[in-house]
């Protein structure tokens, strides 16, 4: 769109020169005009014919007002007429007002009659823009009115917003139906309203000085959207943006850090119980094949590896230095790393911002920037990169290779990730601790994992995003290729308070996170278990080719709960075509229920499961299957599990791959069956109807966000 940026620049410069921050109403109106944001139209007519013509251009009802320097109390003078519609009404109104004015004050100087578009029709909405400390410029949308305020029914997107973003905002409020025309009301013009949102978002993006903007109310009708009131506030001293290297620089550095040829351990120790000892043992016992370089002021050898007093004494390149020394020695050792041109430092030590030592953290940040050393941490457990057999951590080793990369801001959550992964046999490519995030953060990891062929899914726990804007931009790109799952802790006010006492991080408004993460194609996990279950289940599922989900169940009761879970997780139970219904009925007892769920009933032999699942996989109209198994003597758990895997393989041999998850109801033997199924590509869960569906739902959310559905 062609905007008159020069006009806006001029107004904002004047505001700055005036040392004001708030714009006047006429200034706001001028800015709206410059960006094509509709405000009530008005004009001054000097004849009845001119008034009619002006009103005709505006469309709809108008208000007429006398314009005279000698008439202050217009209404008293009979100088205001409202709700005039036809050309004739307007013309007559013009004459009436002039006559009234003459009668009121015979010698009044008459400039003319103002013709103003009359608002108050249509749906009242609010469009606004705010500046978030993490995400920067955001555009907001909601309905107008007190009730909406009470219900906090408002939605946000990063600015600038695309037309698609803006249209999604109209559907993104709970009261979305109101815009579609309820009880005979006309639906609003969605394109016009979305256009107005886009213009606001582009305005605040083009002029970062605009800190806040409120169009409240905007009257949205079938014809258009007009902002009745405009409020704009500037901030001429914005916070400095966080430093960001280029994507290429990130890739180069992170590849050396995550897949190093040589690792220095600063503070390596031969003494049991020391962190520098645990790191050494994990590197050695983890099976790392690169060079291990213990750094120690005195020792000449540690655990069989030649030791050096400083990284600077090491001949050849070092890709990453793991710090296992107290906080007070970090800065000095980091300068040496810089001088040695080591691209990455893994800062395990605590004692920085999280304990109040903000200056200490700033110091190491400055060193990192000066020497171009990327910093992981401080205050972390380190990281794992399984495909290099690399355990650069003081925690227990982890070696189940797979395609999920996980990260956590908190060390405790990191340990939960490791424990769960081991227990649930989840194959991972990497586990990374981010701690205080003095430098490397979630978006650096996303940029690395995006191009890491060993990683197919990225799951991250975070309490804040230091640079939400950068995260969102990278996530939007990466999530098109690989699912990105995020557990944002500090969702609630209480949680956010705990987060700030824990990491000195200001937790953002959760609704902003909610909307921006969705806009970025991120799958948001609601709980730690969800994060872990999604990370484990999503990568083994193939991408669905469509929205049609079918439930096949031996337990009718599971079928009901699985159906509930489908609705909860935004999955669409396919309306069963009659020929397919008949085809299923051939395999199930006459009192079983076809339709969807397909209820094969509980007492059935393995062949019934086999036939129905095979049909479900082979019919191209069905895109995903949810299985409900009921443990019986006739079809014991492992018999069921093996036959499902067999059918799956048979279909794969024919080139058919569909997502399939299972809920297993039965005695403890179903646990073995669940494990077997998972290890063969069918996420399966004992004693739960909701987890399998949530996992499938997560895959669908991703596929939709990535534009694959």
Residue list 650-679, contact with its own copies (CB under 8 A): 664-671
Smallest gap from Cβ 420 to its own copies, in A, equals 4
- Binding residue (CB under 8 A) for its own copies from 409, 438, 479, 612: 409
In the bound complex, what is the minimum distance in angstroms from residue 440's beta carbon to its own copies?
Answer: 18
Strands 62-67 and 112-117: antiparallel
Residue by residue, DSSP assigns 621-675 as: T--EEEEEEE--SSS-HHHHHHHHHHHHHHHHHTT----EEEEEESSTHHHHHHH
Residue 639 exposed, middle or buried by CB count within 10 Å (0-12, 13-18, 19+): middle
* Distance from C-alpha of 43 to C-alpha of 702, rounded to nearest angstrom: 51
- Which residues inside 369-398 make contact with its own copies, applying CB under 8 A? 395-396
Find the binder of its own copies among 566, 625, 662, 696 (CB under 8 A): 566
Q: What contacts 89, CB < 8 A, 6 or more positions away?
A: none
Helix (H) or strand (E) holding 278: helix 275-285
Q: Which of 118, 148, 264, 660 binds its own copies (CB under 8 A)?
A: 148
The residue among 367 and 573 lying less far from its own copies, judged by its C-beta, is 573
Kindly indicate which of the ranges 102-110, 220-228, 415-423, 511-519 contains the residues binding its own copies, using the contact rule CB under 8 A: 415-423
Between CA 631 and CA 639, with CA 635 as vertex, the angle to 5 degrees is: 105
Residues 76-115 that bind its own copies (CB under 8 A): none
Question: Looking at beta carbons only, is 29 or 466 nearer to its own copies?
Answer: 466
**CB of residue 241 vs its own copies: minimum separation in angstroms?**
26
Q: Between residue 221 and residue 280, which ones bind its own copies under the rule CB under 8 A?
A: 273, 278
416 binds its own copies per the rule CB under 8 A: yes
Q: Which is nearer to its own copies, 309 or 412 (CB)?
A: 412
Which span sits near its own copies by CB under 8 A: 91-99, 230-238, 301-309, 593-601? Answer: 593-601
Q: Which of 24, 300, 492, 607 binds its own copies (CB under 8 A)?
A: 492
> Toward its own copies, which CB reaches closer, 134 or 410?
410
Interaction residues for its own copies, span 454-483 (CB under 8 A): 461, 463
Q: Which of 535, 688, 695, 700 binds its own copies (CB under 8 A)?
A: 688
| Listed ranges 207-215, 283-291, 444-452, 683-691: which one lies at the site for its own copies (CB under 8 A) | 683-691
**Residues touching its own copies: how many (CB under 8 A)?**
101
Displacement of CA 269 from its chain's centroid (Å): 42
- Structure-block tokens of residue 369: 């920037």
- Rule CB under 8 A: say whether 422 interacts with its own copies: yes
10 Å CB burial of residue 145 (0-12, 13-18, 19+) is middle
Of 3-11, 535-543, 685-693, 698-706, which part binds its own copies (CB under 8 A)? 685-693
Nearer to its own copies, 123 or 429 (CB): 123
410 binds its own copies (CB under 8 A): yes
Q: Which two three-digit tokens encode residue 336?
A: 């040496």
Burial class (CB in 10 A: 0-12, 13-18, 19+), 349: buried
183-212 binders of its own copies (CB under 8 A): 183, 185
String of contacts with its own copies for each residue 619-638, x by CB under 8 A? ---------x-xx-x-----
Among 78, 208, 427, 495, binds its own copies (CB under 8 A): 495
Q: Which of 353, 422, 334, 344 is nearest to 383 (CA)?
A: 344
In the complex, minimum distance from the CB of residue 567 to its own copies, in angstroms, rounded to a whole number: 4
Residue 24 makes contact with its own copies by CB under 8 A: no
Using CB under 8 A as the binding rule, whether residue 578 contacts its own copies is answered as no
What track of x and - describes contact with its own copies for positions 499 through 528 (by CB under 8 A)? x-xxx-----------------------xx
Q: Which is nearer to its own copies, 207 or 609 (CB)?
A: 609
CB of 544 to its own copies, least distance (A): 18
Q: How far is the CB of 114 from its own copies (least distance, A)?
A: 30
DSSP string, 484-547: EEEEES--SHHHHHHHHHHHS-PPPPHHHHHHHHHHTTPEEESSHHHHHHHHHHGGGSPPPSSS
419 binds its own copies (CB under 8 A): yes
Q: Measure CA 671 to chain center.
A: 34
Containing 294, the helix (H) or strand (E) segment is strand 291-295
* Dihedral sign, Cα of residue 497, residue 499, residue 503, residue 508: negative
Beta pairing, strands 80-84 & 62-67: antiparallel
Options 3-11, 180-188, 511-519, 605-613: segment touching its own copies (CB under 8 A): 180-188
Task: Quote the least distance from Cβ 502 to its own copies, whole Å.
Answer: 3
Q: Quote the DSSP letter at residue 248.
A: H
Least spacing, CB of residue 256 vs its own copies, in Å: 28
Q: Is 576 helix (H, G, I), strand (E, B) or coil?
A: coil
Report in angstroms how near the CB of residue 229 gets to its own copies at its nearest.
16
**Residue 427 binding its own copies, by CB under 8 A:** no
Residue 443: CB minimum distance to its own copies, A:
20
| Residue 315 three-state SS | coil
**Contact call for residue 167 and its own copies (CB under 8 A):** no
* Strand 123-132 to 210-220 pairing: antiparallel
DSSP of 399-451: --EEEEEEEESSHHHHHHHHHHHHHTT--EEEEEE-TT-SS--HHHHHHHHHT
Stretch that binds its own copies, among 163-171, 223-231, 336-344, 410-418 (CB under 8 A): 410-418
Q: Dihedral of CA 64/70/75/78: which sign? A: negative
Residue whose C-alpha is closest to residue 429's, from 523, 318, 535: 535
* Residue of 84, 169, 257, 532 interacting with its own copies (CB under 8 A): 532
Choose, by CB under 8 A, the member of 593, 639, 656, 709 that binds its own copies: 593
Residues 311-370 that bind its own copies (CB under 8 A): 350-351, 354-356
Nearest to 661 by CA among 648, 651, 672: 648
Does the footprint of its own copies cover residue 575 (CB under 8 A)?
Answer: no
CA-CA-CA-CA dihedral for 478, 479, 483, 484, to nearest 10: 80
Piece of the chain touching its own copies by CB under 8 A; list 27-35, 144-152, 281-289, 641-649: 144-152
Query: What do you get for the CA distance between the two ends of the chain, in Å?
Result: 30
What is the smallest separation between the CB atom of 219 and its own copies, expressed in angstroms?
16
584 binds its own copies (CB under 8 A): no
- The separation between CA 484 and the C-alpha centre of its own chain, rounded to angstroms, equals 9
Q: Does 616 bind its own copies (CB under 8 A)?
A: no
Beta carbons within 10 angstroms of residue 301's beta carbon: 11
Strands (E), 33-111: 42-45, 62-67, 80-84
């Amino acid at each position: 769109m062609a905007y008159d940026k020069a006009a806006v620049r001029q107004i904002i410069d004047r505001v700055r020169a005036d040392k004001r921050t708030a714009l006047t109403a006429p200034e706001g109106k001028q800015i709206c005009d410059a960006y094509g944001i509709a405000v009530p139209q008005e004009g001054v007519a000097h004849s009845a014919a001119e008034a009619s013509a002006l009103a005709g251009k505006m469309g709809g009802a108008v208000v007429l007002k006398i314009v005279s320097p000698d008439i202050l109390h217009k209404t008293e003078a009979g100088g205001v007429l409202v709700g005039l519609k036809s050309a004739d009404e307007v013309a007559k109104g013009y004459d009436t007002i002039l006559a009234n004015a003459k009668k009121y004050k015979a010698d009044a100087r008459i400039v003319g009659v103002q013709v103003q578009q009359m608002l108050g029709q249509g749906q009242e909405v609010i469009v606004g823009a705010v500046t978030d400390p993490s995400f920067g410029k955001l555009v907001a949308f909601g309905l107008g009115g007190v009730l909406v305020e009470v219900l906090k029914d408002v939605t946000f997107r990063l600015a600038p917003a695309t037309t698609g973003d803006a249209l999604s905002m109209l559907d993104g409020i709970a009261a979305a139906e109101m815009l579609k025309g309820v009880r005979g009301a006309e639906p609003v013009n969605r394109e016009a309203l979305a256009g107005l949102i886009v213009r606001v978002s582009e305005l605040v993006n083009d002029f970062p000085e605009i800190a806040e903007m409120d169009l409240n109310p905007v009257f949205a009708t079938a014809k258009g959207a007009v902002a009745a009131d405009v409020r704009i506030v500037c901030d001429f001293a914005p916070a400095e943006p966080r430093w960001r290297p280029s994507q290429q620089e990130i890739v180069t550095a992170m590849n050396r850090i995550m897949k190093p040829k040589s690792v220095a351990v600063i503070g390596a120790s031969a003494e049991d119980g020391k962190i520098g000892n645990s790191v050494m043992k994990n590197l050695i016992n983890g099976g790392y094949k690169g060079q291990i370089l213990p750094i120690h002021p005195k020792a000449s050898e540690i655990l069989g590896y030649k030791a050096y007093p400083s990284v600077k004494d090491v001949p050849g390149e070092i890709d990453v230095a793991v710090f296992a020394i107290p906080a007070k020695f970090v800065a000095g050792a980091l300068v040496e790393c810089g001088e040695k041109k080591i691209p990455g430092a893994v800062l395990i030590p605590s004692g920085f911002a999280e304990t109040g030592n903000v200056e200490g953290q700033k110091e190491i940040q400055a060193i990192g920037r000066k020497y171009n050393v990327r910093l992981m941490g401080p205050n972390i457990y380190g990281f794992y990169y399984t495909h290099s057999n690399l355990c650069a951590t003081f925690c227990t080793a982890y070696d189940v290779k797979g395609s999920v990369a996980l990260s956590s801001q908190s060390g405790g959550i990191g340990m939960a990730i490791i424990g769960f992964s081991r227990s649930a046999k989840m194959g991972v490519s990497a586990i990374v601790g981010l701690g205080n995030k003095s430098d490397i953060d979630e978006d650096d990891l996303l940029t690395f994992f995006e191009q890491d062929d060993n990683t197919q899914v990225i799951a991250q726990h975070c309490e804040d995003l230091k640079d939400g804007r950068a995260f969102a931009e990278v996530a939007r790109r990466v999530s098109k290729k690989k699912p990105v799952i995020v557990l944002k802790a500090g969702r609630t006010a209480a949680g956010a308070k705990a987060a700030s006492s824990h990491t000195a991080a200001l937790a953002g408004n959760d609704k902003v996170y909610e909307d921006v993460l969705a806009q970025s194609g991120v799958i948001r996990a609601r709980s730690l278990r969800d994060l872990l279950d999604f990370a484990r289940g999503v990568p083994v599922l193939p991408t669905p080719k469509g929205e049609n989900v079918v439930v096949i169940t031996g337990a009718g009761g599971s079928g009901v709960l699985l159906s509930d879970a489908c609705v909860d997780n935004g999955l669409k139970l396919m309306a069963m075509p009659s020929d397919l219904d008949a085809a299923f009925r051939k395999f199930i007892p006459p009192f079983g229920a076809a339709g969807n769920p397909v209820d094969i009933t509980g007492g059935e032999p393995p062949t019934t499961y086999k036939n129905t699942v095979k049909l479900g996989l082979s019919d191209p109209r069905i895109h995903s299957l949810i299985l409900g198994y009921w443990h019986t003597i006739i079809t014991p758990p492992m018999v069921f599990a093996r036959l499902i895997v067999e059918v799956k393989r048979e279909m794969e041999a024919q080139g058919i791959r569909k997502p399939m998850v299972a809920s297993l109801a039965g005695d403890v033997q179903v646990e073995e069956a669940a494990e077997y199924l998972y290890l063969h590509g069918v996420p399966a869960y004992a004693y739960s109807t909701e987890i399998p569906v949530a996992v499938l739902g997560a895959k669908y959310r991703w596929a939709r966000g990535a534009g694959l559905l």
